[in-house]
Amino acid sequence: MKRLLLLAGLLANLLLGPFASAQEARTQWAPIEKSLTALLNEGWRIISHSSSDNNLAFSFVLMRESKVVICLFNVPKPNDAASRCRALN
């Protein structure tokens, strides 16, 4: 019985292995040297946003044509928020 379970586990790993590695494909995460304000002024639009439970971190997903950018804020203060924006494609 133990050998059968071991063989079944090995077979599952062999069959499912390619699927696990396919989910770990490298993704572009290139920094953009522009602020969220500059991107919005250029015509990018916010298509999604979220915040942490305590409102100390915010993220915005922007899109223009077929390009997607994510901008992140950590602990923004009124009138003093530094964004970190990255291109996803």
Domain ranges of the chain: 27-87
Q: Is the pLDDT of residue 14 over 60?
A: no
CA–CA distance, 25 with 69 (Å, rounded to integer): 18
Local confidence band at 28 (pLDDT 50, 70, 90 cut-offs) = confident
**Taking the C-alpha atoms of 33, 36, 41 and 44 in order, what is their torsion angle to the nearest 10 degrees?**
90
CA 32, distance to chain mean position in Å, is 15
7 with 15: CB under 8 angstroms?
no
Q: What value does the mean pLDDT take over residues 16-24?
A: 60
Confidence of residue 47 (pLDDT cuts 50, 70, 90): very high
Q: H-helix or E-strand containing 11?
A: helix 2-22
What's the average model confidence in pLDDT over 55-83?
89
The pLDDT of residue 39: 97
Q: Give Cβ neighbours of residue 70 (< 8 Å, ≥ 6 apart).
A: 59, 60, 61, 62, 85, 86, 88
Q: What is the pLDDT of residue 24?
A: 75
